[in-house]
Structures are given as structure tokens and as C-alpha cells.
Amino acid sequence: MKILVVEDNPSVSSMLELFFSKEGLEGEFAGDGLEGYRKFQEGEFDLLILDWMLPGMEGIALCRKIRETGSEVPIIMLTAKDSESDQVIGFEMGADDYVTKPFSPLTLMARIKAVTRRARKGDTGEEGIRTAHFHVRKETREVVKDGQAIDNLTPKEFDLLVFFLQHPKQVFSREQLLEQVWGYQFYGDERTVDVHIKRLRKKIPEGDQLFHTVWGVGYKFEELAG
């Protein structure tokens, strides 16, 4: 599970970092709102943890901004305040839950589980990813292209495809793809990406016309109208 933490207090961040590694969670950290927003746009996260007060952009504003993009990613706010009026504001801005500082790792873990479980269950009524040609349900890991099921994708292939479907027309370097799809702790050969792209091109009908090589840069996914 990939978590983005936007928090300017380094001691809180490092504590979370330690905690995540113990729990087997993958954490990405940003020190201010602008950086946080940028990282949010670039990566795909299962959960956001935002500090209420941040330099650059208030956490609460960042939260609203993220919701305005249509994202339904679970958001937990960290706050020193405990007044209910603040919480109401927070909820209206789209936060899913609150943790007041100082907090214990166990408390946070319980919230993380609660919030992500709700998201997983699809209580938000998520139907899956739909594009011109594709229909993907993450929960069942089903891929359908033009009415035809593609059921022989391996885990990495599936993840890579989903990432591209969710970021169409955008060019990604191999490094970025390794970061986003493989995870931050990948230190292998960048050619690995090439191989997976090749497999997707082969396994998906007309794959050559979907996965475009951007010479000298990386790859992009684009469905052509024709």
C-alpha cells in the first residue's frame, strides 16, 4: 500500500517513515503543500495523510484541491486541534478521518485500516476504469478490451496497464514507471520496463497502437479515436 504524507515537521515524518517500514507500507513524503500536490498528481496512492497546517498551502486547502480533481483517495488529516467545528470543516472539504497530534502509531494504524477498508469495499460505488476501449475492474482484476476479455495478464502487467489507463497521453520515463508501478525501492535495470511494455503490446490486441515509444524519453499510452 502506497501512502503519501504531506507534513512539514521532520520528526513526525521520520517517525511515520520508520513506522511504515515496520508495517510494510510504502511511504512517500512531501514537506509542503505544493510539493504534496505535485507528488499527488504524479503518483498513485492508496491513502493521503495531510497535516492541517502547512507552509506553501494549507493542508485543508490541499485536501479540497485534491477532491476537486475528482479523486476519491482516502484522506486522513493530522491536526493539533481537537475542536469539532474544525472537524466539520475538514469533513466538508472531503477528509475521511482525523487524527489529533500527538498520536500513537497504533491509533494511526487503526485509522488507516478503517479508512482503506472502506475504500476497498467499494462503498463509494466505484465501477472501475472505463475508457474508449477498456473496461477494468480492479477488485476482480478483470480486463476487457472491446468486449473481449484479456485474462492472461501477470500481476506486473496488470499493474502497469492500470497505471497507463489512469494516466493516458502522459509520457513517463522508465525511472518514473519503476517508481510508480514497481515501487520506490527498485534498483534494477531500466530495461525491465521495456520487456513489460513488449509483453503488453503482444498480449493486448492492437497493443502496438496503444503503447507508444517516446524516443529518448520513455513511453506513453494513448487510445486513438480511429
Give the residues lining the site for DNA (CB under 7 A). 152, 154-157, 174, 182, 186, 188-189, 191-192, 194-198, 201, 213-218
**36, 45 Cβ separation under 8 angstroms:** no
CB of residue 74 vs a copy of itself: minimum separation in angstroms?
9
Q: Given the rule CB under 8 A, which of 33-41, 43-51, 99-107, 201-209 is the region that contacts a copy of itself?
A: 99-107
Minimum CB distance to a copy of itself smaller for 117 or for 198: 117
Complete edge-to-edge strand list for the sheet that includes strand 2-6: 26-30, 2-6, 47-51, 75-79, 97-100
**DSSP H/E element including 48:** strand 47-51
CB of residue 34 vs a copy of itself: minimum separation in angstroms?
26
> Interface residues for a copy of itself in 118-177 (CB under 8 A)?
118, 120-121, 123, 139-142, 154-155, 169-171, 176
CB of residue 172 vs DNA: minimum separation in angstroms?
11
Q: Report the distance separating Cα 151 and Cα 141, nearest Å.
A: 9
**4, 45 Cβ separation under 8 angstroms:** yes
Measured torsion, CA atoms of residues 134, 135, 138, 143, in degrees rounded to the nearest 10? -70
Q: Which three cell numbers stand for residue 4?
A: 503519501
State the residues that interact with a copy of itself by CB under 8 A: 11, 15, 82, 84, 87-88, 91, 95-98, 100, 102-107, 110, 113-115, 117-118, 120-121, 123, 139-142, 154-155, 169-171, 176, 179, 214-217, 220
